[in-house]
Amino acid sequence: MTEFVLETQGLTKFYGDKLAVDHIDLKIPRGCICGFVGRNGSGKTTAIKLMLGFLKPTAGSSRLLGCDSQDLTPAIRQRIGYVAEGHRLIRWMTIAEIAKFQSAFFHEQPASTKQGEAGWDSNFFWDMIDYFGLSKKQKIKHLSNGQRAQVSLALTLAPNPELLIMDDPTLGLDAAIRRQFLEGIIELIMRQGRTILFSSHILGDIERVADKIVVIDKGVIRADCSLEQFRTAVKKVRFVFGQTSPETIDIEGLLGSRRSDKELEMILVGTADEKIAEWAKSSGAADYQTINMNLEDQFIEYTAPAGRNKPFTWEEK
């Protein structure tokens, strides 16, 4: 039987009368690396805060490591690593001070302890800090965004968390630091049974490490599948017509379309190749081709708001 380390049921949150998260049902099995993607203001941070018990849901519930998010015990919190958006750490502390502060909440992990067991691993922390080229005397307030992200990651990984939740951890980082950051995450992935949920705008990062993708849009889960499934399911197909393209499009899985004079571009989800060929034939298309898209393109097309497909035009008043 699959063990789910993170489960939500009908998780809903209203801010006043504004709906931020709408009936999220999510199940993340142990050992899964889940990319949580969505546009700005789509509800990612709210959903993560609900899962961690920082916010109270208007309706529904969520469970982390078998414990209700609203009643997470200290023992459960110890097993969950959390990297907050923007890597907000205590600014006046030095790296050594913040490490000491963080370590006070965990048992010191003896050198003999097997990898994979919980506890503050001081050696691991300082190895990571050395790897990132930081000094223990540096104050957090004097660190750049990227360096703060590195310290934040080291602080979160050193206790060897069973479940790691990261809210847009690579936001604002340059490519080199992002890569280092992802290597840190991969290091955790190498440890067996570790589960990661991370939100990001950078689809390349998701593609590199995730094996599951959850797409959230306007507070609603729009996709919850393996990355492979998502990559295969979302397609862009361009049809070329001898005459003008047909007015009505009747094809299964149509998400959106753009038309020019004799061309018609369709965004399709989960439409079989045979169905596409069949439609092309029935609509009198002279030719058609499936356009290769990377994950970012797929995501943009998949979450494009209605009406966005119209080209931008400047109207002089």
Partner 1 sequence: MRFFALLKKELRECLPWMATAAAILLLFGSLKLIDSKQRQIGYQYRVFERYSEVGGYELLTRPISDFSIFVFMSAVGLGLALGVRQFWADDFMGTWGFSVHRSTHRTTILAAKICAGLISIVAIGLVWCYLFWRANSSGYFVFPLPERCFIGGWLICGMGLLFYLGATLVGLSKTRWYTTKLMGLGFALWMFITLTQQWTLWWGFGTLVIGTIVLLFLICEAFLNREF
The region of 19-27, 85-93, 188-196, 245-253 touching partner 1 under the rule CB under 8 A is 85-93
Q: How far apart are CA 72 and CA 66, in angstroms?
A: 10
Q: How far apart are CA 163 and CA 109, in angstroms?
A: 18
Among 29, 31, 86, 119, binds partner 1 (CB under 8 A): 86
How far apart are CB 180 and partner 1 at their closest, in Å? 21
Among 82, 132, 230, 288, binds partner 1 (CB under 8 A): 82
Among 1, 104, 190, 306, binds partner 1 (CB under 8 A): 104
The encoded tokens of residue 262 equal: 């004799």
Footprint of partner 1 on residues 135-194 (CB under 8 A)? none
The region of 76-84, 128-136, 240-248, 260-268 touching partner 1 under the rule CB under 8 A is 76-84
> Which contiguous run of DSSP H or E holds residue 215?
strand 212-217
- The answer to the question of residue 123 lying near partner 1 (CB under 8 A) is no
- The answer to the question of residue 242 lying near partner 1 (CB under 8 A) is no
HSE-up (13 A, CA, CB side) for residue 188: 33
Among 22, 3, 2, CA closest to 12: 22
Footprint of partner 1 on residues 25-54 (CB under 8 A)? 49, 52, 54
Q: Is-contact 175 146, C-beta < 8 A? A: no
Nearer Cβ to partner 1 (34/151): 151
Q: How far apart are CA 75 and CA 185, in angstroms?
A: 23
What is the DSSP secondary structure assignment for residue 272, as one 8-state letter?
A: -
Among 162, 158, 104, CA closest to 131: 158
> Which contiguous run of DSSP H or E holds residue 101?
helix 95-103
Among 17, 40, 74, 112, binds partner 1 (CB under 8 A): 74
How far apart are CB 286 and partner 1 at their closest, in Å? 56
Residues that bind partner 1 (CB under 8 A): 49, 52, 54-56, 74-75, 77-78, 80, 82, 84-86, 88-92, 100-101, 104-106
